[in-house]
């Protein structure tokens, strides 16, 4: 009888262990309900931010439509100022939108971190619940059916307990499945957090680019006003002069490439060039921040020429490296105009590196891929920047058979 009493005590203790777990879950659920209010407030703030972003983007669309209409009109000082004003307004709105997006993603990260903590607590509870259920079943399995029967006062109590055991077994199975679901949810939530953190870094880089472009557009507007002294006649004169300078620079690039290719049609230099094979271009500087794209419709000097390159934002004086090995067709280092280096490569390719503040190679030099060929420039009215520049950056061209190609198709 003493044995039966002890066994019954063990069974009841196991049952009370499960009860304690469920009591803990009840207390946790009450705390969870309090957290729900905080979650809902956070979600409401996120939705408000998203609505604000959508409103700003609609405003941006209005300015973009205005810019396109004005760009289709004849070039005039008043029209150019209006285009620049619209571009500045649009960029200011873009900066605001990106700042709002950064705040939104920050809130979403906070929300995700809370979800992770909640799922981890839920997993902890499920683990405890599962352990208690398994322990209860194990302790029952250690005793024989006869011993368990003797532990109860009546057969009815015994069969009631058997029914409870069946329910417990079913509950343990459900708990295992729920635990696995929570574990997968936790993994997905961690992946979401990682993606949001990467998105935040991308948005911050985008904001830096937008702020740089905004500063550049304001510089262009100020230059236009200073250079033309608000005179339409002066503006048209400046426009003709800029077009002539650009045409001369383009003709020079084409001419020097053709001339050098003619001089190395045979001999050791040609063999050395051919040994390189088709160029596999690398970025000429570490920065990947593009402030003007190939044939960019928003290029500030589009009224002068189609942008045949990408502009890569970088600090003044950044080392510029050859994107591929080849011969220097032109190394033009000047302090009163546009300084650049042009390198020819095998299979009709050439690259141009513009607005250099310093040139470190000379005509006909052979350069290896990654070799420093000069220092970046582009700060208005500094050595090598030329007239058509808005701020420190590298102008980078890829050409094939004398024609400009989109560098992003090759990098």
pLDDT tens column, 217-250: 788 788 778 777 778 888 888 778 778 888 888 8
Residues 22-37: tens digit of each pLDDT: 555 555 555 555 556 6
Tokens of 70: 């004005």
- Note the pLDDT tens digit of each residue in 111-128: 888 877 777 777 677 667
pLDDT single digits (tens) 197-210: 888 888 888 888 78
- Is residue 356 pLDDT above 90, yes or no? yes
pLDDT single digits (tens) 58-69 = 998 898 888 888
Distance, CA of 343 to CA of 244 (rounded, Å): 24
pLDDT of residue 133: 60
pLDDT at 285 over 90: yes
Q: Compute how many other C-beta atoms are within 10 angstroms of the C-beta atom of residue 46.
A: 18
Please give the pLDDT value at position 200.
Answer: 85
CATH of 232-409, one of 2.70.70.10, 3.60.130.10, 2.60.120.260, 3.40.30.10: 2.70.70.10
User: Does residue 270 register a pLDDT over 80?
Assistant: yes
**Residue 294 DSSP label:** T
Residue 323 pLDDT level (bands cut at 50, 70, 90): very high
* Distance from chain centroid for Cα 274: 38
> What are the CA-CA distances from residue 39 to residues 58, 82, 150, 160, 184 (Å)?
29, 46, 52, 43, 21
* Rounded mean pLDDT, 258-281: 86
**Higher confidence at residue 154 or residue 89?**
89
Domains of the chain by residue range: 2-226, 232-409
Q: How many whole angstroms separate alpha carbon 326 and alpha carbon 177?
A: 63
């Amino acid at each position: 009888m003493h044995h039966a009493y002890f066994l019954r005590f063990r069974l009841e203790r196991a049952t009370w262990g499960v009860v304690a777990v469920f009591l803990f879950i009840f207390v946790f659920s009450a705390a969870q309900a309090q957290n729900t209010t905080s979650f809902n407030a956070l979600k409401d703030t996120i939705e408000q931010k998203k609505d604000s972003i959508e409103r700003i983007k609609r405003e941006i669309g209005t300015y973009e439509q205005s810019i396109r209409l004005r760009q289709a009109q004849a070039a005039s000082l008043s029209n150019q100022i209006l285009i620049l004003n619209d571009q500045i307004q649009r960029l200011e709105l873009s900066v605001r939108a990106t700042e709002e997006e950064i705040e939104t993603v920050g809130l979403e990260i906070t929300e995700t971190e809370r979800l992770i903590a909640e799922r981890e607590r839920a997993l902890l509870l499920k683990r405890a619940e599962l352990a208690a259920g398994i322990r209860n079943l194990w302790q029952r399995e250690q005793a024989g059916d006869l011993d368990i029967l003797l532990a109860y006062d009546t057969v009815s109590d015994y069969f009631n307990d058997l029914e409870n055991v069946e329910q417990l077994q079913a509950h343990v199975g459900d708990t295992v499945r729920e635990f696995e679901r929570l574990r997968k949810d936790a993994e997905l939530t961690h992946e979401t957090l990682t993606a949001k953190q990467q998105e935040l870094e991308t948005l911050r880089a985008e904001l830096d680019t937008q702020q740089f472009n905004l500063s550049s557009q304001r510089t262009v507007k100020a230059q236009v006003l200073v250079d033309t002294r608000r005179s339409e006649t002066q503006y048209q004169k400046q426009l003709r002069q800029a077009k002539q300078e650009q045409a001369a620079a383009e003709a020079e690039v084409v001419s020097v490439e053709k001339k050098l290719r003619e001089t190395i049609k045979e001999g050791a230099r040609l063999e050395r060039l051919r040994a390189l094979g088709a160029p596999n271009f690398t970025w000429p500087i570490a920065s990947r921040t593009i402030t003007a794209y190939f044939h960019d419709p928003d290029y500030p000097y589009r009224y002068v020429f189609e942008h045949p390159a990408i502009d890569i934002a970088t600090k003044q004086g950044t080392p510029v490296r050859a994107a591929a090995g080849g011969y220097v067709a032109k190394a033009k280092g000047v302090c009163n105009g546009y300084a650049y280096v042009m390198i020819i490569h095998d299979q009709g390719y050439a690259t141009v590196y513009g607005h250099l503040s310093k040139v470190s190679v000379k005509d006909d030099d052979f350069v290896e891929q990654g070799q420093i060929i000069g220092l970046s420039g582009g700060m208005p009215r500094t050595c090598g920047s030329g007239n058509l520049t808005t701020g420190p950056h590298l102008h980078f061209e890829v050409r094939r058979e004398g024609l400009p190609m989109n560098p992003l198709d090759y990098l």
